[in-house]
Amino acid sequence: MNRQAQAAVLLLLGVAVLRASSTDLYLRYVKAGLRPLLLAAGVVLVAAAAATVWYELKAARAARAARTVHGDGDHEGAAESGHEDGHGHAHREPRISWLLVLPLLALILVAPPAPGSYSAMRAGTVLQPLPDFPELPDHGTLRLDVSDYAGRAAFDHGRQLAGRHIEITGFVALDASGAPYLTRMVLSCCAADAQPIKVRLTGKLPPTLQPDTWLEVTGEYTSRQMKDPVNGGAIPFFKAASARPVKAPADEYEN
């Protein structure tokens, strides 16, 4: 791939990164806190593309000036169409190298979905005990992340949850028997390392639950727990009093 093509690929990649990081699209790939780094990377790529074009044009002008001075115009067409070897023969760059542009076009034009119920039920829960849990408000409905509820229910024994009205939101995953779980995927860095945290749902639920449907579930803590059949991790239960479908959030991951 010649310098002009390299500059084009750098420019496309930089534009794709800037487009993704200037909208919520980047949340499909990395955790929210990495947006400044993505913006900086996009700017660097665009600047590198511009510098490559500038140096290539500068070299081309210098070459034309040298040929004019020395009267060597015989290989001008060959020099502009490819690289010359030592015998004055031009070699065109392989066109297959342009296939590198296809992943960039996919990044620009297609937003991949976040991992859903299929991935969640084939991976073990990553719920881990914390050294302590922050105090919760004394009154009103507790609106908790799936990971926050699961951690408090499994490892804090529901100390601040018992008797409280709780609301959690996540997507539905069904196991082989059809049992429902409210699930969120957790990121350490990027989508490639996304792993689930699961809460087993009981109580008043819609008669038909579709995998990957996002639900806002209200209910109460229950002390019941089970072991994840994939890795033996703790999966707490949640007794639902009501559940309603909701739109998926802009950031479908928990950090």
- CATH for 193: 2.40.50
- Residue 229: name the closest of 119, 122, 152 by CA: 122
Q: What is the residue range of 243's domain? A: 117-254
What's the pLDDT score for residue 33? 76
- Residue 80: name the closest of 62, 94, 92, 66 by CA: 92
Residue type, 78: A
What's the pLDDT score for residue 190? 75
Q: How far is CA 7 from the centre of its chain?
A: 26
Do 235 and 212 lie in one domain? The reply is yes
Do 233 and 157 lie in one domain? The reply is yes
**Distance between CA atoms of residues 73 and 64, nearest Å:** 9
Do 94 and 124 lie in one domain? The reply is no
**Distance between CA atoms of residues 114 and 30, nearest Å:** 11
Do 249 and 165 lie in one domain? The reply is yes
What's the pLDDT score for residue 90? 46
What's the pLDDT score for residue 59? 80
b or e along 19-58 (b: 16 or more beta carbons within 10 Å of the residue's beta carbon)? ebbeeebbbbbbbeebbeebbebbeebbebbeebbeeeee
What's the pLDDT score for residue 10? 81
**Distance between CA atoms of residues 184 and 33, nearest Å:** 18
**Distance between CA atoms of residues 65 and 57, nearest Å:** 12
State the total domains in the chain: 2
What's the pLDDT score for residue 80? 45
Give per-10-residue mean pLDDT for the chain (255 aa).
Answer: 74 80 76 82 87 83 79 48 47 61 67 81 91 88 95 93 95 95 88 88 93 96 96 96 93 82
Do 12 and 80 lie in one domain? The reply is yes
Domain edge (last residue) among 76, 109, 142: 109
Do 16 and 103 lie in one domain? The reply is yes
Domain edge (last residue) among 54, 84, 109: 109
- Burial class of residue 196 in the structure, from the number of CB atoms within 10 Å of its CB (0-12 exposed, 13-18 middle, 19+ buried): buried
Do 153 and 220 lie in one domain? The reply is yes
Please count the residues of the chain: 255
Domain edge (last residue) among 109, 128, 149: 109
What's the pLDDT score for residue 37? 86
Do 212 and 237 lie in one domain? The reply is yes
User: What six digits make up the tokens of 15?
Assistant: 């534009």
What's the pLDDT score for residue 92? 55
Do 99 and 211 lie in one domain? The reply is no
Claim: this prediction has a pTM higher than 0.75: no
Q: Where are the beta strands (DSSP E) in the chain?
A: 83-84, 90-91, 142-144, 166-174, 180-186, 195-203, 214-227, 234-245, 253-254
Do 123 and 220 lie in one domain? The reply is yes
What's the pLDDT score for residue 164? 94
- Report which DSSP code applies to 170: E
What's the pLDDT score for residue 199? 97
Do 12 and 125 lie in one domain? The reply is no
Q: Degrees (nearest 5) of the Cα angle 83, 84, 89?
A: 125
Do 20 and 126 lie in one domain? The reply is no
- Burial class of residue 72 in the structure, from the number of CB atoms within 10 Å of its CB (0-12 exposed, 13-18 middle, 19+ buried): exposed
